[in-house]
Amino acid sequence: MSSSSKPNLPVTNAVNGPPNADLVRERGAASFPVRDLTYLVYGGQERTEHLERIANMVASDPVFRKTDRFFLSRTEQYRRSLEKVRHYKELIAKHNLHSELDQQDLRQAIDEDLPIGLHVGMFIPTIVGQGTDEQQKKWLPLARAYKIIGTYAQTELGHGSFIRGLETVATYDKSTQEFVLNSPTLTATKWWPGALGKTSTHCVVFARLVISDRECGVHPFMVQLRSLENHEPLKGITVGDIGPKFAYETMDNGFLRFDHVRIPRDHMLMRFAQVAADGTYSTPPHSKVSYATMVFMRAYIIGTASSTLAKAVTIAVRYSCVRKQFPLRSGEPEQQILNYQNQQAALFPLLATAYAFHFTGNYIRQMYSDFVRGMRAQDFSVLPEMHATSAGLKSLTTWIASAGIETCRASCGGHGYSKLSGLPSLYANYIPACTYEGDNTVMCFQLARYLLKLYGKAQAKPGLRLPGNVSYLEKSTLLDERCDASTEELWLDPARQLHAYRNRALRLVANCANRLVAEMQKGKDEVLAVEAIKSDMVKVAKAHSYYVVLNNFVNAIEQLRASGTSTPILRVLKTLCDLFALHFIQADLGDFLEYGYLSSLHTEPLHAQIRRLLEAIRPDAVALVDAFNFTDHALGSALGVHNGRVYETLFEWAQQEPLNKTQVAPGYHEYIKPFLLAKM
Ligand SMILES: CCCCCCCCCCC/C=C/C(=O)SCCNC(=O)CCNC(=O)[C@H](O)C(C)(C)COP(=O)(O)OP(=O)(O)OC[C@H]1O[C@@H](n2cnc3c(N)ncnc32)[C@H](O)[C@@H]1OP(=O)(O)O
Ligand SMILES: Cc1cc2nc3c(=O)[nH]c(=O)nc-3n(C[C@H](O)[C@H](O)[C@H](O)COP(=O)(O)OP(=O)(O)OC[C@H]3O[C@@H](n4cnc5c(N)ncnc54)[C@H](O)[C@@H]3O)c2cc1C
């Protein structure tokens, strides 16, 4: 079945000409209407077409070009990204893209780490979340009109994960009703905040509040850093760029020091905690409410794991259809490398994961908006669940997406190592997601702690009802149950798949809880006992998060079925869901075998079913990546071009290499010629 209507995307950047015949054939053989799956992914036909209009506008605009990015210096890349910011603002005005959603769509289409990312992603959300109504009235219009540009300055040279250890102080001076911001040590220097180095005029600074020598904990403060006239740093402020990084060249991650900088009292963001003029301090309704922007960003990061992984898989799958190596038998034509089982085993689980994460993203968005609604009504009861779930999912999704991009790169052989494949920069720019907004391992501890607590409560109080995704912690009888998937067919049963994931998660939680008790019985206090089980806690958090991802994928398919989604689409989604479920059991088989949940009775049919699923996906692989609907601009890859003219595009793009500007190498006269022409 071919697609029900054609995508409206231009073929930009690629070398024009007849499309690659193999890709054309693959597209013609899809078992489902590609366009319908695209609508499903992007929320309907109207929304898809809107996104395409924006994507087309960006892809055909020379200011947003990416093709020369590898040949620019760090400074040039930063300047170029500022040029894109200016143009982004012009387009908002020109095309009336004033809604937050339109602007988000535009930034997504531009597809670059712009130095306004922190402004829109954390600075504005912190004002919205933490500012009083008056503070919002004062700063939001300026921020939304880009009259001020801000960032989120929390991390310090000596302190990142441990927020309570921050050293920057904001001392309240009752006599002038000001806070005095100071960086008392070198390690108190703010370090890392995006766009802090050169771009931002303002920032929200997290500092420990001190009132009359009393420590009141870490709070957010609005601080102007640079003159709005000439962009010079203000008195008492030392600010700059932290220097070269693994990648992320367009972003001026910065450092910042305060030398007794005074700000008015109403520059502390006081929605939840207040300091009155006389220095009276009112505590917030929840001790971690000032961490809410991080929870928001973690939810956002979970949402982008799918699209990032989907880009890598799109490049690798298209290339693997174009690339041919070896005939099976002599005299036969060479095979598309995607026909090889190993290539399918590397790529298709990642394809399935990109779809799985799409539904995880929907789930966390919904959970976050419910949480915000509650918070507006002063109800913080969902915060622990929101924090723990988002911390775990942020870790799992970014770890898998990072490793997945590298798998895609390696699966493209030598050409994957070329920056022109788009994969090295995708990887290098993405991997800090495992670190920023909470180091993944540290985030896993948060989820594991939450699960251990709930498990303990459920043990102590049989009959206690726990929230949906953790309700399995109530059922310790589950531990006695074993897998009964003894045939390939049984492995396709979602109930059995979920049973396996639930059982593994519960086992690891119970095991951790038992070890904690055992460590304490050996004489350790609780703190040291926790230290003794930390690597197991990471496993616990991952196991639970896998279960959440799978549960959402299964539920989403059920909901789609109930809402009348067509059979071919349901069939292909079910196949992807099955592969996701079975692949990650196979990948962690030790967990399931260790406690006898599975035996070789089950693993043989498991492996066989996975092989069948790979075969089932093969004819639809190109259609499944096409359904993500990326423009060539978004992929930025000679290997992933929609028309499949991979070699032509690689060859043409390579001509832009500055070394190729002259026929004779720079340095030839000084360094090569002397020894070439030296007498023997
Ligand atoms: C939309 C536009 C897109 C723009 C694109 C931008 C691109 C991205 C750019 C990236 C920008 C990056 C920015 C940053 O990195 S900002 C800095 C982020 N820093 C962190 O994430 C630090 C991580 N550390 C923490 O979050 C905490 O310190 C930590 C959770 C590790 C521990 O906190 P703390 O030590 O204070 O607390 P305890 O361990 O003692 O725990 C006490 C209880 O509080 C609970 N807790 C902790 N955090 C939260 C929270 N956020 N919400 C709710 N509850 C929380 C914790 O679980 C404990 O609970 P119990 O007592 O019940 O166990
Ligand atoms: C590209 C990028 C952009 C960033 N942008 C911003 C920004 O805009 N604003 C901002 O404020 N910050 C920003 N950051 C900082 C970022 O949030 C921190 O780097 C992150 O929170 C991790 O903290 P850390 O660097 O202190 O790591 P550390 O906590 O020092 O971690 C180092 C290692 O120690 C381990 N570890 C730490 N604590 C424990 C523990 N209790 N038990 C066991 N192991 C532990 C970790 O797992 C990790 O392996 C950015 C960072 C990067 C890389």
Q: Give per-residue pLDDT as tens, 604-646.
A: 999 999 999 999 999 999 999 999 999 999 999 999 999 999 9
Output the residue whose Cα is nearest ligand 2's atom 23.
160
Measured between alpha carbons, how far is 373 from 364 in angstroms, rounded to an integer? Answer: 14
Q: Write the CA distances from 495 to 471, 499, 578, integer angstroms.
A: 15, 6, 11
CATH 2.40.110.10 residue ranges of the chain are 133-289
Distance in Å, CA 457 to ligand 2 centroid: 31
> Which tens digits make up the pLDDT trace of 188-218?
999 999 999 999 999 999 999 999 999 999 9
DSSP bridge partners of 233: 226
Taking domain 133-289, whether its CATH number is 3.30.70.980 is answered by no
**Hey, how many other C-beta atoms are within 10 angstroms of the C-beta on 511?**
17
Residue 11 has pLDDT above 80, yes or no: no
**Average pLDDT estimate for 2-15:** 50
Ligand 1, residue 449: give the atom nearest the CA.
Answer: 63
Of the candidates 544, 540, 536, which has an alpha carbon nearest to the alpha carbon of residue 518? 536
User: Is the CB of 381 inside a 6 Å radius of any atom of ligand 1?
Assistant: no
Distance in Å, CA 435 to ligand 2 centroid: 5
468 annotated binding-site participant = no
Residues taking part in catalysis: 437
> Which tens digits make up the pLDDT trace of 129-183?
999 999 999 999 999 999 999 999 999 999 999 999 999 999 999 999 999 999 9
Strands 178-182, 214-224: parallel, antiparallel or unpaired by DSSP?
Answer: unpaired
Mean pLDDT, the chain, integer: 95
Residue 7 pLDDT class (50, 70, 90 cuts): very low
Output the residue whose Cα is nearest ligand 1's atom 44.
288
- Share of residues in the chain with pLDDT > 90 (%): 93
CATH 1.10.540.10 residue ranges of the chain are 69-130
- Which stretch of DSSP H or E encloses residue 216? strand 214-224
Q: Which of 103, 163, 289 to mutate to test the pocket of ligand 1 (most atoms within 8 A of CB)?
A: 163
What count of residues does the chain have? Answer: 680
Residue 475 has pLDDT above 90, yes or no: no
Output the residue whose Cα is nearest ligand 2's atom 47.
441
Domain 69-130: give its CATH architecture: Orthogonal Bundle (1.10)
Strands 254-258, 190-191: parallel, antiparallel or unpaired by DSSP?
Answer: antiparallel
Output the DSSP codes for 535-559. Answer: HHHHHHHHHHHHHHHHHHHHHHHHH
User: Is the CB of 447 inside a 6 Å radius of any atom of ligand 1?
Assistant: no
Of the candidates 7, 5, 9, 24, which has an alpha carbon nearest to the alpha carbon of residue 643? 24
Distance in Å, CA 161 to ligand 1 centroid: 8
Measured between alpha carbons, how far is 294 from 155 in angstroms, rounded to an integer? Answer: 12
> Which tens digits make up the pLDDT trace of 304-332?
999 999 999 999 999 999 999 999 999 99
Output the residue whose Cα is nearest ligand 1's atom 43.
288
Largest CA distance in the chain: 92
Q: Write the CA distances from 234 to 249, 258, 261, integer angstroms.
A: 26, 10, 9
422 annotated binding-site participant = no
Higher model confidence: residue 427 or residue 9?
A: 427
Measured between alpha carbons, how far is 318 from 314 in angstroms, rounded to an integer? Answer: 6
Nearest bound ligand to CA 534? 2
Model pLDDT, residue 445: 98
Residue 10 has pLDDT above 80, yes or no: no
pTM over 0.90: yes
Contact yes or no for 263/178 (Cβ under 8 A):
yes
Residue 4 pLDDT class (50, 70, 90 cuts): very low
Measured between alpha carbons, how far is 24 from 511 in angstroms, rounded to an integer? Answer: 52
Residues with CB under 6 A from ligand 2: 118, 152-155, 160-161, 192-194, 248, 253, 432, 435-439, 441-442, 534
Contact yes or no for 198/254 (Cβ under 8 A):
yes
**Average pLDDT estimate for 480-493:** 96
